[in-house]
Every structure is written in structure tokens, then in C-alpha cells.
Amino acid sequence: MDFRLSEEQEFFRQTVADTVDRLIMPKVEEIDRTDEFPWELWKEFTSLGYLGLRYPEEYGGMDADPVTCMLFYEEMSRASVGFAQSVTMNMLMGTYFVYRFGNDAIKERCFLPAIRGEKIATMCFTEDQSGSDIGATRTQAKKVDGGWVINGTKNWITNGPLADCATVLATSDPSLGAKGLNFFLVEKGTPGFSPGQVLHKLGCRGTVTGELVFEDVFVPDENLLGEEVGKGTNYLTEILNEVRCMTAAMAIGIARTAVADGLDYARKRMAFGKAIGEYQLIREKFARIVTELEASRLLMLSAAWKIGEGMNPRNEAMMAKYHAVEMCLECVDEVTRVYGANGFAEEYGPQRYFRDARFLLYGGGTHEVLKNALGKAVMSGHWR
């Protein structure tokens, strides 16, 4: 077993880290304060080509393996998690099915501009009554001559109100539950397709999240993103492992910044004649959270490596997401305690890490759902 990153991966990580420090870090506080999408930063950052990271070179991508992609997600999340979420939505969920199933015209119109940052892409499957329970999806696609008519409302859609193209999960037969689901491409300007309410979030600010409304939206047959009707759930599982590993990587990125800030504060803050970092109870906090951070990274990278090797690490990806996010929540909480009352002040970073970490609880499955699925796998003897 060799746990070392390749020279190429190490170089890539450092390049991304330098880019994040140069372009994003100086704008983090402003993005969090204004909660506005940073268009200029988007244009500058996406011009570097990172949105094509996981796609083939023939499309202008980098053809990166999953481990390399996780390094990118982790480094991005050290800074503005809101901006990182807009980027990752565009480069993974928002473009995956368009790349896989779209014809040449669709790729030219939507996929290629999206990975160049010229268009913004999103994926829509969450509704008021269906998040983890996708079988309860109520947005319906009815077959008509030459295409489909879509009706429904999606909620909690990252990039949604800004999206130029949306991959939409809809049911063609509600009686079939998860077996009646399909993905459709809907483009901005299509009659009946419009943004709804924008959500104002506790954390992950700077990414625009909200509703998308579909009222008698007609899309042609070519916009069905799949080889056959009713296979949407099967297609979703293809990227769900990667999404969960990505969420774990984002949690690790937040935790890294929180630990770095906490350590710096503990070395400088004086109490009773010495730095608080010299007291055992403060040291114990860092010993524990850094150990959990490293454990989370190993879980995440192991699952990502298995994805790259063509395996199906369903349980490992769930474990990685669950462990990393819970670790991050504990980590940012402990750092606010290291800061004392200053951890409650907006002038310091810990309150932002605390808010941002909460959002990662939900993407890729709530932890209640993940633990239930993992428990079932353990009980059945199929957890490895």
C-alpha cells in the first residue's frame, strides 16, 4: 500500500492552493458580509480552466482522477465555501449528465460553455417534500409528441436562480416511485422556466440558492438525459459516491482553516502569564480534532481512490461524508471555544466556519439517512 500522492498531484494541490490564496482568500470576508455572487471573481477564477478538471482533454478538460479532484475541492473550501459550492456544482453535478447523455448540439450549447465558466449549470432534485427521499419527487414530466412537458417546483438549488442550464429530476410515472425518475435538460429562456424565491442562508454565503419553477415547460426528446426512461435513479448512483467524497473534502477544507486560525490564536492569546496554547486542556482540543481531521482525510481519499479504480465504494463514501462533516462540526465548535468570547464576534473567523459547516450536513444525504443505510449494511454483513 502506498499512501503518497504522485508528484503531479502534489504539484496540482500546491498550484490550486496558491490560486486560492491569491484570488479567493482576500475576498472571503466581503463575500460572507454581502452575500452577493462574486461575478468578477467567477470570471477570473473560471478562466483558469478548473471547471473542466474531471472531463476529457478533448473537451478542454484535464481528465483528472477522483483523488486529484478531491484535492481541488479541499483546497477550494479553505476559503469561501459559498464560492466553492458554486464552482463544484458547475463542474460536477450540473454538467455530468449533460456530458454523458447530451448530443453534440447540447454539448456545444451547454456543456462546453459551462466548463469554461461562460454559463452556469445546476442540478435540481430537491423539493419541499423530497430531499433524501427522491422517490417522493412530485415534479412531473408528461410525454407528448416530440418531447416532454414538465411541471413542478424545485427548492434548495445551488446556482439555481442564476442557472443558464439545469439538469432536472422529474417523474414520468409517480406510481413507480424511484423507478419512474428521469433527468431532463432545461435551458434558460425556455417558456415556463423561471427562478422562484431566493433563500437567505445562515452560512455558505455568496452562492445563490433558491427555487426553480417549471410551468408547462416543453423540452424536446433529445433533452431526456438518459438512454431509457425510468433509469434516473440508476444514473444518479453513478456520481453519488463522488458527491459524498466531495462533501467530505469540503468539510476537511473548512476544518483545516479553522485549526490553523485556532492554533495561531492559541499561540498569541495570553492568560495568567502565558499563551493559552501552553495549557493542557487547550492542547487536548487540538490533539483530538487534528487526529479526527487526519482520519477523515484517509477515509475520503481511500473512497476516492476506489472510485478511480472502478470500484463502487458506496459504504465507504457514506462513511467519509458522515465522519468528515461530524469532525468538521466538532472542530469549528472547539475553535470557537479556544477563541472564547471572540469566537462569537463577527470580526473573527470562527463564527463563519461554524455557520458554513452546518450546510454540509444535508448535501449527499442527511446523516440520519446515511447512518440508517450504513447500519443496514452492517447488519446484513455487506458493509465492505
What separation in angstroms does the CA of 145 have from each of 16, 142, 217, 221? Answer: 48, 10, 14, 9
CATH 1.20.140.10 fits 233-380, yes or no: yes
Q: For the domain bounded by 7-115, which CATH number is listed?
A: 1.10.540.10
Nearest to 217 by CA among 196, 198, 189, 197: 189
Rounded (10°) angle between helices 81-88 and 232-268: 160
pLDDT at 106: 97
Calpha distance 378→123 (Å, rounded)? 31
**What phi and psi, each to the nearest 5 degrees, are found at residue 59?**
-100, 10
pLDDT at 237: 87
Average per-residue pLDDT for the chain: 96
From the DSSP assignment, how many helices (H) and strands (E) are in the chain? 13, 9
**pLDDT tens digits, residue range 318-344?**
999 999 999 999 999 999 999 999 999
Residue with cell 490564496: 21
Calpha distance 172→17 (Å, rounded)? 44
What separation in angstroms does the CA of 266 have from each of 118, 208, 280, 314, 349? Answer: 43, 35, 12, 39, 14
Please say if the pLDDT value at position 264 is more than 90.
yes
Please say if the pLDDT value at position 366 is more than 80.
yes
Please say if the pLDDT value at position 383 is more than 90.
no
Going from N- to C-terminal start, the domains of the chain cover 7-115, 121-230, 233-380
Secondary structure of 179-217 in the HEC alphabet? Answer: HHEEEEEEECCCCCEEEEEEECCCCCCCCCEEEEEEEEE
- pTM to 2 decimal places: 0.96
pLDDT higher for 321 or 2?
Answer: 321
**pLDDT tens digits, residue range 24-57?**
999 999 999 999 999 999 999 999 999 999 999 9
Nearest to 209 by CA among 196, 225, 192: 196
Q: What are all long-range contacts of 338-344, with beta carbons under 8 Å and residues at least 24 apart? A: 338/262, 338/265, 338/266, 338/276, 338/282, 338/285, 339/262, 339/265, 342/265
Least confident of 157-171, 224-238, 266-280, 299-313: 224-238
Mean of the pLDDT values across residues 289-313?
Answer: 97
Please say if the pLDDT value at position 132 is more than 90.
no
Calpha distance 331→357 (Å, rounded)? 10
Beta bridge partners of 165: 121, 187
Nearest to 247 by CA among 64, 65, 74: 74
Calpha distance 299→317 (Å, rounded)? 8
pLDDT at 382: 80
pLDDT at 238: 85
Calpha distance 135→151 (Å, rounded)? 17
Calpha distance 29→31 (Å, rounded)? 5
CATH 3.40.50.620 fits 121-230, yes or no: no
pLDDT-derived band at 129, boundaries 50, 70, 90: confident
Nearest to 311 by CA among 320, 302, 319: 302
* H or E segment to which residue 15 belongs: helix 7-19
Beta bridge partners of 143: 148
Please say if the pLDDT value at position 384 is more than 80.
no
pLDDT-derived band at 162, boundaries 50, 70, 90: very high
